[in-house]
A and B are shown apart, each in its own frame.
With several copies, the nearest count.
Chain A
Amino acid sequence: MIRVAVQPAAIDVAGELDLHDAGGHGATASFVGRVRGEGELTELFLEHHPVLTAAGLGELAHRAADRWSLAALTLIHRVGAMAPGETIVLVLASSPHRAEALAAVEFLIDRLKTDVMLWKRERFADGREQWVEPRAGDHGRAERWD
């Protein structure tokens, strides 16, 4: 079962885990990314493309499912405005084999940073806003999978 979503609503991690777990798979690896509250950050805004963002997530999910033996895969990305501590992204991968579940999660989180149409803007306590620049390391990590 592959579940992919792009949503402005808060991500319900426990609820998604329940949904994903329905099959009782051997090993589930996961990744939860949350808004960090560093440097007086008050809001993170995530811009997306109405069509291509979901398409890009779906393509990544299917690429992972082709590459590893996965019993279930969940890939949820939040968009819009969110506060420090809130969940931006959730990846769950289950497999009979732990190494495959872990590798799929790592692949997805690395590729999310470079392959999917999403842009972060930070707002700070003093009202200043800035678009997040991609980090050089993100591309290095993503290319490990080529």
Chain B
Amino acid sequence: MALSVSYFAWVRERMGIADEVIDLPAGVADVAALVGWLAARDARGARAFAEPERIRAAVDGVMAGPGTAIDGVREVALFPPVTGG
């Protein structure tokens, strides 16, 4: 399944890219699993996602938790807690 994944702030810096299209293996069913899969994939992912509790996500434009399903979605954004205002 092809999934668009985008990264923001220090997650983007550590990944070295702003977005990519991933061919997601079966069994990676929710946000937490995606984060774990990215952390295990390579050194950049290991650095970006070393502390999964500091990662927030939006799934198809809606704020999501670690347990949010990603089956059939088009895009996931991964980022640190926001600091606007």
Chain A contact residues, CB within 8 Å of chain B = 33, 46-47, 49, 51-52, 55, 77, 88-89, 98, 109, 112-121, 131-134, 138
Contact = CB atoms under 8 A, between A and B. Distances in A.
Contacts of A118: 82-85
Interface residues of B, number: 15
B79 A117 contact: yes
Given A115-B82, A117-B82, A119-B83, 19 more contacts: A33-B85, A47-B9, A47-B12, A49-B79, A52-B58, A88-B85, A89-B85, A112-B85, A113-B82, A114-B82, A116-B82, A117-B58, A117-B84, A118-B82, A119-B82, A120-B83, A120-B84, A131-B10, A131-B80
Which secondary structure dominates where chain A touches chain B? mixed
Contacts, number: 63
B63 to A, nearest CB: 8
Contacts of B6: 49
A115 B62 CA distance: 12
A49 B83 contact: no
A33 B8 CA distance: 23
B19 to A, nearest CB: 10
9 contacts: A47-B8, A52-B77, A55-B61, A98-B85, A113-B83, A116-B85, A117-B8, A131-B80, A134-B81
